[in-house]
Structures are given as C-alpha cells and as structure tokens.
Chains A and B, each alone.
Chain A
Amino acid sequence: MIISVASGKGGTGKTTVAVNLALSLKDVEVLDCDVEEPNCNIFLKKNLKNIEDVSIPVPVINEKCDFCGKCSEFCEYNALAVMKENVLVFKELCHGCGGCKLVCPKDAITYKERKIGEVAGDDSFYQGELNIGEAIATPIVAAVKKKIKKEKTVIIDSPPGAFCPVIEAVSGTDYCILVTEPTPFGLNDLKIAVEVLKKLNVPYGVVINREGIGDERVEEYCKKNGIQILMNIPHDRRIAELYSKGIPFVLEMPRWKEKFRKLYEVIK
C-alpha cells in the first residue's frame, strides 16, 4: 500500500505523522518528497548515500544555427531569445519539452543535462533534494517516487500547498492522510487540499494535530462533509519539545505506536 501524507498549510505536522507512522509499522519504506525542504531524516537519522543526480535537459545551440528564430517563436516558456547573431538560452525557464529541437530546420539544437538536485537514501528511505536557487522541483519528486518498492508499506511525505510538486507526490497513491490544525488557516488550506484529492481521485482522511489550540470548525467541516477523522494529536508540550530536538515522539511515548497501528488498520 502506498500512503501519502499531505496538507494544504505548511507546518501542520506532515513529517511528524509520516515518521511516527513509519516507526510504528513493520516493513516500511519512507519517501521524503518535500524536496524543497526535506526534513524526515532529521528524525530518522539514516546514513544517506547519493543514489542519483536529477537533471533536466536544456538546449545548446551549435554553429549550424542561422538565427531564423523558429525556436524562440515556438517556446511557450520564453526560454530562448534569438538575436541577430546570437541565441540566448534562459536555462531556468526551460521545461525541457524538446520543442525547439523539433522545429529547428537546421538541426542546430542539441540537449545537455543540467543537474537540479539529487536523490539520496538507503534501502528503506529515500529523499529528494532540490539545489538552492533552482525553481523546478517536480522532476525530483518523480525521481524519488521511482524508488517505490510495492511489496512494502510505502509512506510518502509530500510538500505543503497545492502546486505541481504536491500533485506529483500524491497522485497514484492508494490513500492520502491530510494533516491539519484546528485553526482558521488550517481549515482554509484543508479545504484546498481536499479539492486536490477529489480531482486526483485519491481516498483521504484527516489527522488533526495540536488539538486544543483552536476551535471546532475543522471537526465540524469534516463531519458535515463525511470526511473521516483518523486521529487527534493533542497540543502537548512534550510532543513539541521532542519535535524541536528531532526525536520522533513514538520513541519516547510508545503507547502512541498502537494508535498509529490502529490508524493504519483503518485506512488499509
């Protein structure tokens, strides 16, 4: 089974749920797909090795170019500008669609791979990491997801929000755990995440983290819309302290392991 852990709002406890769930189950593989800010390994403390670099192709213009301008005319992303005797390539804007090479009448375009990040890991844990200053995270999420071992219980930690890398991380998973907090921001962003999952056709349930800090509106929303609340994690100083030190709370509060196992039984 492949379980993704997502949230609209950042900082609600995705990584907390992903890591503590993983440590409560047997035969688990964890994939950290929050490649802009991967944090699972702060808690898992695995010895990671570089597995592969992730690159995207960027066009290189050779001497056959006669500056006809067809490539820049075709490019939807404004990644090419053809001057009188020069072609400028804005590599950060290139999506790697391959269109410029297809339209070039002189066969003057080749592609060079440009590294934008990497995948690191060991046997049961993989994480992607986007290089600083790079904009496009989705290919790295896709590369991490290639490490899925179907025979295991796979837990995917998604980035926050509802943009492209989130969709890449969550799509094709068997179930998505949405982590939220009982505040107006938490509720607003939960509603956005629910819309994403409806569109992706992935079943989902909700974990309410920091129960007690806010109000009842998240619970009311879930009840009204028939969304299952899988777990409530209380606003507890001990849990917050352990988090701040990078310690998964199930290790210090082992009775929670049973709760996470029950959660897994419910969604299985």
Chain B
Amino acid sequence: MKQLTVISGKGGTGKTTLVGAFAALAGNKVLADCDVDAPDLHLILKPEIKEEKKFSGSKLAFINYEKCIKCGKCYENCKFNAISEDIKIDEMRCEGCGVCAYVCPVNAIELKKRDSGTLFISETRFGPMVHARLNIGEEASGKLVTLVRNTAKEVAEKMKKDLIIIDGSPGIGCPVIASLTGSDLVLIVTEPTLSGMHDLERVYGVSKHFGIETVVCINKYDINKENTEKIENFCKKSGIDMVGKIPYNPEFTKAMIEEKTIVEYNDDPAVKDMWKKIEERV
C-alpha cells in the first residue's frame, strides 16, 4: 500500500481542489483529510459518516479550590504560563504536563482528559474517507493528524485498498510533519508568486529532511510566467520532477461552489495528465 501526501507550504495554492480531483481519478484508494484545524475536503466529497470516535489529545489541569491554599507553587513551576498569579487555569495554554499537580503540596490539582476533537470514518462517492475535527482552541493537532493517518491505513488494509491520498495542511510545522510521516511520495502544490516560491523552498526542505521522494506542480502557472520559469529552474537544480503546470481557470472555483470536483464539473486535461504522472510515480 502506498501513501501520497499533498502539501504546499503556502496556503490557498489548491491542495484540496487537487485532492478532490485525484479522488475522482484514482482507482482503489482511501482519502484522508489531515488538515484537521481547517478541513475543507468534506465540502467537495460530502462524506456520509459511518463511524465516529472522540479524540483526547492531551490532559487539562483542574484546581479544587476547596483544597487550594494559594501557595503559588503551581504558578511558579508552570512553563507554559497557563496558571495565573491568582491561581486560575488558562485552558488554551495548558499543555497537560502535570507539573502543577506534582508540585501542589495539598493535592488540589487533578489532570483530566480533555475532549480535543472527533475522528470520522466515512464513505464518499469515490470511496472511503477518514477525516477529523479538532475542537476550537485545542492543541495536539499533530496527534490528531497521526490518528487520521493511522486510521486511513487501517481502513485501507481492511478494505484492500492500495493507495492513501492525504490532504495536508499549510505551513512546515507540527501538523505538516505528522502528515508526511510514512509517505511514499509528496506532491507540493505551488503558485508562481514570490510568496509561493519562498514557501515551496521551505516545505521542500522539510520533505528532504525526512528523506521523502517529492514532486512539484505549479497551479495558475500562467499568472506570472517569469516566476514559473524560476520555479522550473529551482526544481531542475534540486532534481525534483515537475508533474504538472495547471493554467488559471475560473472553472475551479465554479466547481467548488457547486460542491463538485473539477473532474466532474469540466473535464480538465491538465489535471488528468498530471494524475497519470503521479500514479506512475507512486
């Protein structure tokens, strides 16, 4: 079984739109939305939820004020500034480490599991999909990404699917690294803007750091041909294959508004050609 992860560094370059198209084009696969703090793939694939599980990523400290003597030891020892001087827990900052409970001389602090989000196993018109929703303000997005990825793998094994297509999140940090782990191929979607290029170089650095084979595609390549050429040169120099150049096409947005993939809305040859190349690679 192979795993393809789609990332971009910069947000809004077209990751989810392309993953939607691949969902329509690929054969025997499972889809996974690993952009857990702002997921969008479900808007196009309209999954029917078959199974859902609560997810608890980290713990949260609770103070029993009947026992608390306001000695301030918890406040002094918390490295995350999650306890105020008047001994109140800032839920958003608490990372559930347990130091406060350990240093409390009167056992007034207890750590409880927090309700961090929900995992969904669903069915779509293009096959099974695993996705999740991180609760507002929860940390542990990396852990939830890992859970989505591992669950997608289990589903793929059980249903004898040979490919997992992962929609990643923007950036280069925790959730991105968690979505890349175990990938056989990474597709970076970029755009010919200076920001897109800058972010491509950084996110390519991450996939290289983890030793994962990487290919690139340029979305809206015709909005700045000079920059497109620069990206092509960068890829050539770095030994990265360019698997596709997609022209700017307002139909992509129209398809999104009708909650369809571009493949269903309008046969787009550029995306189809690109998928063929990716399929061969993976």
Contacts and interface: CB of A to CB of B under 8 A. Distances in A.
Interface of A: 8-12, 15, 36-37, 39, 42, 74, 76-77, 95-99, 102-103, 130, 132-137, 159-167, 171, 181, 183-185, 188-189, 192, 195-196, 199-200, 213-215, 240-241, 243-246
Nearest to A164: B139
Contacts of A161: 35, 37-38, 169-171, 175
Residue of B177, B199, B227 with most partner-chain A CB within 10 A:
B199
Name the prevailing secondary structure of the A interface residues. loop
B105 interface: no
Interface stretch (B89-97, B156-164, B237-245): B89-97
Contacts of A167: 92, 137
Given A74-B98, A132-B172, A245 B194 contact: yes
A76 B193 contact: no
B128 interface: no
Interface stretch (B9-17, B24-32, B263-271, B273-281): B9-17
A166 B83 CA distance: 20
A136 B99 contact: no
Contacts of B43: 184-185, 188
Residue of A103, A162, A196, A245 with most partner-chain B CB within 10 A:
A162
Interface stretch (B64-72, B119-127, B202-210): B202-210
B40 interface: yes
A165 B170 contact: no
A86 B227 CA distance: 52
Contacts of B177: 133, 135
B199 A37 contact: yes
B198 A42 contact: yes
User: Chain B: interface residue count, which band?
Assistant: 35 or more
Nearest to A132: B205
Nearest to B176: A36
Contacts of B256: 183-185, 214
18 contacts: A8-B38, A9-B40, A10-B38, A36-B172, A36-B173, A76-B59, A76-B95, A76-B98, A95-B97, A97-B98, A135-B142, A160-B170, A163-B139, A183-B256, A196-B137, A199-B92, A214-B256, A241-B224
Residue of B8, B43, B137, B141 with most partner-chain A CB within 10 A:
B137
Contact of B136 (A9, A192, A246): A192
Contact of A188 (B40, B142, B174, B203): B40
A164 B36 CA distance: 12
Contacts of B92: 167, 171, 199-200
A130 B137 CA distance: 21
A162 B37 contact: yes
B141 A39 contact: no
A43 to B, nearest CB: 8
A130 B194 CA distance: 19
A73 to B, nearest CB: 11
Given A161-B38, A163-B174, A246-B195, 17 more contacts: A8-B38, A9-B11, A10-B8, A10-B12, A11-B11, A12-B12, A37-B170, A137-B171, A160-B171, A161-B169, A163-B134, A183-B256, A184-B43, A184-B259, A188-B38, A195-B136, A213-B253
B108 interface: no
Residue of A161, A184, A192, A199 with most partner-chain B CB within 10 A:
A161
B1 interface: no
B282 interface: no
Contacts of A77: 97
Interface in B203-223: 203, 205-206, 209-210, 223
Nearest 10 CB-CB pairings of A with B? A10-B11, A11-B12, A97-B97, A36-B171, A10-B170, A132-B205, A246-B194, A11-B11, A244-B193, A133-B209
A11 B13 contact: yes
B146 to A, nearest CB: 12
B99 A98 contact: yes
A102 B103 CA distance: 8
B77 interface: yes
Interface in B110-143: 134, 136-137, 139, 141-142
Interface string B224-268: 100100000000000000000000001001001101000000000
